[in-house]
Every structure is written in C-alpha cells, then in structure tokens.
Structure 1
Amino acid sequence: MASSDDSTHDFPTDRRRFLARAGLGTLAGVGAGAGALSAPAVARAQDRITWRMVTSWPRNSPGPGITADRLAKRITTASEGRLTVELHAAGELVPALEVFDAVADGTADMAHTASVYWTGKAAPAAFYTTVPFGLSSREHMAWVYHGGGQELWDELYGRFGVKGFMAGNTGMQMGGWFKRPIESPEDVKGLKMRIVGLGGEVMRRMGATPVTLPAGEIFTALQSGVVDGAEFLNPWIDEAFGFYKAAKHYAWPGVNKPNGTGECLVSAKAYADLPEDLRQLVQDACQAEHAYALAEADWKSAAALDRLENERGVSLFRMPDSVTAEQRRLADTVIEEAVADDPMGPRILESYRAAQRTARRWSEVGVRAYFQARAV
C-alpha cells in the first residue's frame, strides 16, 4: 500500500501543508472569482475595518479549512484592505463547536462552519447544511437562492443576532467508515458511530449510539476504538484526514448527507454597520467561494476515490437496501419531530419539502436520465 509520501499526486502536497499548518496564500483558488467582485477604486484609511473569523476546522484542512482561508482572502483582496478578515482556526480563539456563540456574543465578527452543528440552538438549522434523503447540492442552492430559503434562514438566525450565507460546499457525501462492513440492520445495533445532524437520530433509532465529534477528533476516536464507525465528508477530505488508516470499509451511498453546504456566519450588527458596497462584497465572496468549492470537491473526490480503492487498500461497499430502506422509513418522522417545537420549524420544513417537490421531476428527466443514458 502506497503511503502519502511516495505518491506523485497533488493530494500529498496538500496534506503535508495541512499537517504542517502552512499558509495557503498562493492557492490558485484565492484569486478565482475574486476579480469579478466589486471593489472600491480608492481605499481610505478611515474606512478600514478588521473582522475576526473563527472556524470549526483545523487550519488549512482540505475542504472546509481551505474554503475558510480562501473566503477570508477573497474579502480582504477584493475590498483592497477596506475589510480585512483575520482567520482563527478551530481552537485558536474558541473551540470548534462554539463558533456560533462567538459570533452571537461579539467575540468574533464572522465564522466558517456548518449549520448542522447548531440544531441544539435551532433545530431547523439542519436544513441549511443537509438532512437525510434531502436536497442535492444544486437543488439546495436553488432553494436558498431562489425558493425562499435565504429569507427563512435570515429570520431563523436573526433571533441570535447572526446572519448566515452559503459559503462552500463539499458536495455528495459518503456513508461512512467502518471496521467491518454493514450487512444488515442487525449490524447497526450497538454500533458506536461518529455522525452529526438528524442522521444521527435515525441511526440511534436503528440501535446505534451516535457520537458528535469535531473534525479534528474523528481520526483518533476511530483509531482508538472510541467509535466503531465514522462519517464525515467526501473521499478527498476523508482521505486527507487519514480515516482509511483506522478503518478499511467505506460505505456508499451517503443518504445521511446528500449535500455538504458550509456556512459563513456574520454578526448581524457588524454586517449592518458595513457600507453598502462592502455588504454586497461579502455576499458576492460567499457565492463565489460556494461555487468554486463545490467544483473543487467534485474534481478532487473523483481522484481520491480512485486512490482509496487502488492504492490505500480500501474496500468500498454499498449499504444494503434493507439498511437504506429502514433509514428512509425513519427519516421523515425524525425530521418532523426534530423541528416541531421550534416556532419556525413547520414553515422551513414545508418550504424545504416544496423545493423537493419542485425539483424532483426535473431531476428525474434531466440529471438522472442523462446519467443513466451515459452509463449505457
């Protein structure tokens, strides 16, 4: 089995930089799209503002960590320094799973994270990352941008003094890493699994014990046996975190996370205090990074999946239909119960489901039909 040190792919270089906590200022993606953002021709000293960004990710970690770094650079560069974003990775200013509170209480002006972590504060937040058997990445973008999702998001987070933007996407996720393959619903019973979001409750009702861990703690927990399985993101990012060294069985499809939207949290007050052009610039930078990161995730995951199978000794397995059917049977009830007690829960759930109904037929005769035809 080849190690990352003797491979000639781009991935090992990225991973060495990540592990060494090196800077990524020369990444090609930093400038991609940023030049199209509106920027003032003149930067006046009295207009200069500095924001502190905290994140839920290890510094420079492939995927979300790099996205957060690029987003900070996009804003700083496109504003010609009028709005400088200083990045503080997970644990540097606040712990990974406390960044929402940091923005809400003014410790930080901005955060890069995932809304699925905040269901304890507002259960419908899960819809702004992903829910089991939910919208795909493109369908999710359509809902937020054009189907009323952003307006509901603003209202949901507004009660905490926070505003959310889509800002990065890791695309379709995998089903998780396991010490042994899952062959039936019986194999789920007693399983300790790192899993976040409403999918964790689905697994609990199937007899598993869901465990919530931040990104930087998953590998150690999997390696030491604290958990028997773990789901995180896509092949590119999972490979970077080295999960294949602790578990060799990799499941698909990723019905728990059919989408991987990351969010930029901004203090509503700090955002409102910006000049109009800088408010627009922040929004434009988030949109540019969202599109760029989704393309990056698709491209790099394809290569990573090939390496995992052919160089890392990983065994891919399809989750049995009996397991997926049980997950599907439980998912709607779990989602409905989770949001029932939140004042906005029913409204967001109905908007999300309306988006699914709207998208379904086009997805069938468009994307699904094409992929089927291409495979013949």
Structure 2
Amino acid sequence: MDRRKFLKAGALGAAGTALAAPMVNAQSAKTITIVSTWPRDFPGLGTSAQRLAERIPIVSNGALRTEYFAAGERVGAFDVFDEVAAGNSQAYIAADYYWIGKHPGWAYFTSVPFGMTTPEWNAWIKFGGGQELWDKIAGEFGLKNIPCGATGAQAGGWFNKEINSPDDLQGLKMRIPGLGGTVMSKLGASTVSLPGSQIYENLVSGAVEATEWVGPYNDYFMKFYEAATYYYTGGMHEPGGGLAFGMNKSWWESLSEFEQAVIVACCNEEHAAQPEEASALNGQYLQRLITDHGVQVRQFNEDVWDAFGFAAEEVFEETRDHSALAAEINDAYQAKLKEIAGWRASAEIEFSNQRNRILGLV
C-alpha cells in the first residue's frame, strides 16, 4: 500500500464513529422524553441533567432528539420513576435511593451510609459486578439504569443548632433521604424525604430544622444559610452520590446498537463531568458561605460518628432481611467495598493524608 492510500485508510478508520452515524431527517429521528427530579437551571444537579439532555442529539447526529422536563414541569419530582416504568416517558434523571420505599436495594445504586466514594462506586458498577445487580433490580420494575452523574462526597448538612452528642439528634426534624435517613431515624430524628424544590421553604418555616443536600457549590444557591447557621462538612450518609439515567426497559431494548451506544457515551461523559465540576467549585463556595454569609463550619465528633456507625450496622441487617435480592446486593456491595477501599487506604488515602499534613492543607 502506498503512503497516500495508507493515510487515507487511517483517516477513515479514525472517523469510523462519525461514519457509523445514520443519515436522518427530522421525520425519522427518535424523541426521548426525559423527566428529572431536579429544578430547572439549578446549578450542579439541574444544569448537569440539562447538559446531558442537550448532548444526546449532538452525539447522535440528530438520530435522537430529547425533550427535557425539570421537576414539576411534566410530573412531580418523585413521580418520575412510575412515569418511566409505565412508558409514558422514556427516561428519568434522578438519585435511585429515592425509591427505597419500593425496594431498599435501590439505595446501593446512589449511596449508602459509610459506603463507597464516587471512584469506588464507579469501580464496582463498571468492573465489579455492580451494573449486573443494578440491571437485576431495575429489571423487576421494567427499567434499565446506567450512571449519568455523581456528586462526590457530600456534606453532613445544615443544622439550626450544634450537634455535640447523639442526644442532640433526638426529635430533630431533618430532611434526609435514603438509608442515611433510616440511620438518623434510629438515632431519634424525625426524617422526611423532600424534593430539592421544597427544602428551602420547609427549612425557613421550621417544618424541618436540618437538611442535607449536596455540597458547598450546590448548597450555596439553595440559600440554606438564611435559615441554618451550622454547616457540617463530612457526612456519613452519602460518600458518593451516584445518579441514574433510568430508562423504560422495553424502549431501551427497541433501540439500535448505535442509539444505545450514544446514550451510554453521553451518560459516561456527564458522569465524569459532574463530580469534576463539584470538586473544582466546592472549596470556592465554602469560602463564600463563610465570608459572605457568616456560616459556621463544624465537624461531627467521634461520639456522633460512632453512633452513626452502630445505627448503620442495624440498618444494613434490616435491609438484608427484606429479601433475597436485597441481601445479594448488600453482600456484594460490602465485599467489594472492603476490597477496593483497603487498597485505596494503603495508597491514595495514605498519600493524601501525608501530603495535606506536609503542605498544611488541613
């Protein structure tokens, strides 16, 4: 083969993905109706979901179109699961731990107390059998779910009083979903799971006295500092916060390989972008909360952490007792957590602790 033919062949190979995209017109394009649990244009969670919805038509070369509806625009935030399972919309963007009332196993595909960080969860989902278990539980509800975002480790939350001992949690009215909420309930808190759009008004009115949300970047725009002074940083409830692109399974299976590949690629892209964005901005917005709004940053002491740990052990046992599938998911998750986290503690965490000590970062 002469040099010109070789270079031409290489160029065609490199452009293979683009060449594989079908030629479409407006009439033949498939429309994906996406419903979300997040408010429109909300920095972080909302803008991430909108980025994903906007990206799919571009990558598909017009073969797939999207209609995006933020929380409350088509259905309520917590109605998106049933909307998609019924086939009325094709996909939702949400945190799957919202559905623990349907089955507690859903919690492991967002985050659980003392669980996996975002890199650890990614490893489990992609290379440790997590996606297969996600497919198993989702399939029981007529869904197919894949990762499409992550928050990274979340803050412990906003409180209108200091938490100096486990006794301070007795009777506390707190917005906190998932198994983290179950842990807080065991410690005497009165917990509720509210969609993001309803938290501020409930905090201001006193209907709730504390809330968790995400981290400084996302929380800043919620203006929780207007109703709660104390911001606890590290929390036990969501060390990772993986988000889901949940699709109607029958619809997913009707797609071509190309269409499925586009959706997976776009979800993977946003799944990487969202925690990177949060990591880049959390420090900046934490400082703004402190300097601009007088927020007082706190950390839970070891007595409180220990109480969280004992309660979490009870919650996991109760979750296992729910069903064979719940036990299978929990046991696989916990086993992989020990394996992944053990190595990370020996390498990355040891390094970061020593780096932070030497550089005076903490």
TM-score (structure 1 length as normaliser): 0.88
Partner SS state of residue 102, structure 2: coil
- Of 283, 293, 314 in structure 2, the residue corresponding to residue 312 of structure 1 is 293
Q: Is the 8 A contact 2:156 2:236 kept in 1?
A: yes
- Of 158, 164, 168 in structure 1, the residue corresponding to residue 139 of structure 2 is 158
The structural deviation recorded for 1:37 is 7.6
Equivalent runs, 1:111-190 vs 2, <5 Å: 111-190=92-171
Question: 1:336-355 CA distances to partner (integer Å, 9 max, x unpaired)?
Answer: 21242233111111110111
Question: 1:314-369 CA distances to partner (integer Å, 9 max, x unpaired)?
Answer: 00011121111000111022022124223311111111011111112211122211
For residues 321 and 37 of structure 2, the distance between their equivalents in structure 1, rounded to whole angstroms, comes to: 27
For structure 2, the 5+ residue unaligned runs are 1-14
What does residue 76 of structure 2 align with?
95
The structural deviation recorded for 1:121 is 1.0
For residues 353 and 344 of structure 1, the distance between their equivalents in structure 2, rounded to whole angstroms, comes to: 14
For residues 332 and 186 of structure 1, the distance between their equivalents in structure 2, rounded to whole angstroms, comes to: 19
- Of 300, 324, 333 in structure 2, the residue corresponding to residue 343 of structure 1 is 324
What does residue 74 of structure 1 align with?
55
1:54 pairs with 2:35 = yes
For residues 292 and 115 of structure 1, the distance between their equivalents in structure 2, rounded to whole angstroms, comes to: 19
Q: Is the 8 A contact 2:158 2:224 kept in 1?
A: yes
Partner SS state of residue 219, structure 2: helix
For residues 16 and 178 of structure 2, the distance between their equivalents in structure 1, rounded to whole angstroms, comes to: 35
For residues 208 and 37 of structure 1, the distance between their equivalents in structure 2, rounded to whole angstroms, comes to: 53
For residues 215 and 59 of structure 2, the distance between their equivalents in structure 1, rounded to whole angstroms, comes to: 30
Question: 1:176-214 CA distances to partner (integer Å, 9 max, x unpaired)?
Answer: 101111111111111101111111111111111011111
What does residue 236 of structure 2 align with?
255
Q: Is the 8 A contact 1:170 1:233 kept in 2?
A: yes
1:280 pairs with 2:290 = no
The structural deviation recorded for 1:104 is 0.3
| Aligned residue pair count | 342
- Of 197, 202, 205 in structure 1, the residue corresponding to residue 183 of structure 2 is 202
Q: Please identify the structure whose Cα radius of gyration is greater.
A: 2
Alpha carbons of structure 1 residues 272 and 36: separation in structure 2 relative to 1, 3 Å: same
What does residue 65 of structure 2 align with?
84
Q: Is the 8 A contact 2:165 2:304 kept in 1?
A: yes
For residues 308 and 200 of structure 2, the distance between their equivalents in structure 1, rounded to whole angstroms, comes to: 25
Partner SS state of residue 293, structure 2: coil
What does residue 374 of structure 1 align with?
355
1:221 pairs with 2:202 = yes
1:106 pairs with 2:62 = no
Amino acid at match of 2:336: A
What does residue 352 of structure 1 align with?
333
Identity of aligned residues (%): 37
What does residue 279 of structure 2 align with?
298
Q: Is the 8 A contact 2:84 2:248 kept in 1?
A: yes
For residues 339 and 176 of structure 1, the distance between their equivalents in structure 2, rounded to whole angstroms, comes to: 27
For residues 151 and 36 of structure 1, the distance between their equivalents in structure 2, rounded to whole angstroms, comes to: 29
For structure 1, the 5+ residue unaligned runs are 1-34
